[in-house]
Structure formats: C-alpha cells, structure tokens
Amino acid sequence: MNMQMTFGALGFGIIARAGSTAFAQTNRYCAPREVVVERLAQKYGEARQSVGLVSNNSMVETFSSSETGTWTITVTLANGTTCLVASGQNHEALAESLPTKGNDA
C-alpha cells in the first residue's frame, strides 16, 4: 500500500512537470496524440477510461484494458503532443462512493 501511495505521489509530480512544453520536447515518450492513442489500442488493447483538464490547458487521460489489466496515464499539451506519464499492470475499475457525513472511516 505504501509503495502504491509513493508511486501515486511521484506520478502526480510527473504530471505537473509534463505540463511544460520544454519537457515534452525532450521526452522520448512523447508523440502526436493520434499516434499514442493508436499504439495503446493496437499493442495493449487499451481504451480511454477517464479525462481531466489541467490549469495550463493540458489534458490528463487514463487508458486501460479490462482483458490484459494494463493501464497508462498520459498528458496531452495544447499543441497536440501527448506524453506517457506512467503505466503498469493489474488495473481495477472501482465505483466508490463518497463517505456519508458522520461515518468516519
């Protein structure tokens, strides 16, 4: 569990850094969005599961495959360049609800 939390914190730091254009231009894990999305679909069977906007007009997306359990997090810059931020195995889709008031866990 601690390793997952550490990796998660590291991932969010990388996402923040990936928002800079200079990082995207020097990162070998970047390509035009359509190339990245096609590669994730063809090679790993991954489809987009969620999307969110970052304050610097970047888009964060998660892709995963229910068949293989692989997952990938990407950041797409306003210029259309998409960078891989993190990837792994054993993806699990969750549908958790917010805790109700008065029920501290």
Mean pLDDT of 17-21: 45
Write the DSSP string, 22-37. Answer: HHHHH-TTEEEHHHHH
pLDDT in tens, 33-91: 999 999 999 999 999 999 999 988 999 999 999 999 999 999 999 999 999 999 999 88
* Spatial distance between the Cα atoms of 31 and 33, rounded to a whole number of angstroms: 6
| DSSP 8-state class, residue 72 | E
Q: Smallest Cα–Cα separation from 54: which of 11, 22, 16, 23? A: 16
Q: In this structure, are residues 70 and 46 in contact, taking their beta carbons and an 8 Å threshold?
A: yes
Instruction: Give this prediction's pTM.
Output: 0.69
